[in-house]
């Protein structure tokens, strides 16, 4: 074992569903590193005080950030990565030399999952559900790939229009409950997550060659993904993206490369 590396964590509200501790502690154990990764419930109202307190703890290496804190987290950092700035949201805060650095490893995770498909072209357009921090990371990723054929569907139409303008989208936003008729669908909301009120998305109009990518990871097989598979659509859960963004976060938090040669074992444990 190495000398104690201190601890990192994931924060959000709710947080009990997070699989990040399982991922990071799995890697720490495989590498024989004496560190710890925790989960801590933090509300939006309590975020600033929480971070101020953590910054006084020399054992704290930083934290991943999940909903609903990603838009607020970037405002608390002295410096931010290009991707965090582009997204206007951070899923990672790293304590380094007395400063707090904001990052966004969600963007790279989306690129890893969707990059090949996007490069082949999606002429039928993509619907993006949501307008929060996760949705912004998706938009940065698709813009990186030079794609503008995205339609945002959200409950907050004002925020959706602002995002569409900010990211130069070619398709006008629509209400959240509009039936999906695009080739692709990306869910960047808590819809389908354990504890969230059920809401059925109508995907009956999606073309047979369509695909659905759901960022929710608890449950892994969401109602949306089940519906997609029943229709014969390509369905991708959020585990692959979660592992990709976690690997980038692990390096920044603990200063070591995640041992990706054990991905098979890890993913099997994450997909019950």
Q: What span, in angstroms and rounded, lies between the C-alpha atoms of 92 and 20? A: 12
156-204 tens-digit pLDDT: 999 999 999 999 999 999 999 999 999 999 999 999 998 888 899 999 9
211-244 tens-digit pLDDT: 999 999 999 999 999 999 999 999 999 999 999 9
70 is catalytic: yes
**Stated length of the chain:** 272
Give the per-residue pLDDT at 77: 97
139-157 tens-digit pLDDT: 999 999 999 999 999 999 9
Whole-structure pTM value: 0.93
Catalytic residue of the set 19, 70, 119, 209:
70
Give the per-residue pLDDT at 2: 53
Give the per-residue pLDDT at 272: 75
**Confidence category of residue 3, pLDDT binned at 50, 70, 90:** low
What is the per-residue DSSP string for the chain? -PSP-EEEEEEESS-TT--HHHHHHHHHHHHT--EEEEEEE--TTTHHHHHHHHTT-TTEEEEEE-TT-HHHHGGG-SEE-HHHHHHT--SEEEEETTEEEEE--HHHHHHHHHHHHHHH--TT-EEEE--SHHHHHHHHHHHHTT---EEEEES-HHHHHHHHHHTT-SS--EETTSPP-SSEEEE-SSTTSTTSPP-----TTS-TT-EEEE---SSSS-HHHHHHHHTT-EEE-SHHHHHHHHHHHHHHHHSS---GGGHHHHHHHH--
Average pLDDT of the segment spanning 3-24: 94
**In the chain, what are the domains?**
6-104+245-270 (3.40.50.10860), 107-237 (3.40.50.720)
Q: What is the mean pLDDT of the chain?
A: 95
pLDDT at residue 121 above 90?
A: no
Give the per-residue pLDDT at 118: 85
Q: What span, in angstroms and rounded, lies between the C-alpha atoms of 73 and 90? A: 6
CB atoms within 10 A of CB 92: 28
Average pLDDT of the segment spanning 26-55: 97
Average pLDDT of the segment spanning 31-53: 97
Average pLDDT of the segment spanning 17-29: 97
Give the per-residue pLDDT at 45: 97
Give the per-residue pLDDT at 119: 83
Average pLDDT of the segment spanning 56-64: 97
């Amino acid at each position: 074992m190495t000398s104690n590396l201190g601890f990192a964590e994931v924060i959000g509200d709710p947080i009990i569903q997070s699989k990040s501790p399982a991922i990071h502690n799995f890697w720490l154990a495989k590498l024989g590193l004496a560190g710890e990764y925790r989960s801590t419930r933090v509300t939006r109202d309590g975020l600033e005080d929480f971070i101020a307190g953590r910054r006084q703890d020399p054992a704290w290496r930083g934290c991943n950030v999940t909903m609903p804190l990603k838009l607020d987290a970037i405002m608390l950092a002295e410096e931010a990565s290009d991707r965090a700035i582009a997204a206007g949201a951070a899923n990672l805060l790293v304590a380094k030399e007395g400063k707090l650095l904001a990052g966004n490893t969600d963007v790279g995770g989306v690129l890893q999952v969707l990059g090949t498909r996007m490069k082949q072209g999606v002429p039928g357009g993509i619907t993006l559900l949501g307008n929060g921090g996760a949705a912004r990371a998706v938009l940065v990723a698709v813009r990186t790939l030079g794609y503008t054929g995205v339609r945002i569907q959200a409950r907050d139409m004002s925020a959706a229009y602002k995002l569409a303008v900010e990211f130069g989208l070619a398709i006008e936003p629509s209400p959240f409950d509009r039936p999906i008729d695009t080739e692709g669908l990306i869910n960047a909301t808590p819809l389908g997550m354990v504890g969230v009120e059920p809401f059925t998305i109508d995907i009956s109009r999606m073309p047979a060659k369509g695909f659905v990518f759901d960022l929710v990871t608890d449950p892994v097989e969401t109602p949306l993904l089940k519906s997609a598979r029943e229709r014969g659509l390509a369905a991708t859960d959020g585990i692959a993206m979660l592992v990709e963004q976690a690997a980038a976060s692990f390096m920044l938090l603990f200063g070591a490369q995640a041992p990706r040669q054990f991905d098979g074992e890890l993913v099997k444990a994450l997909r019950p």
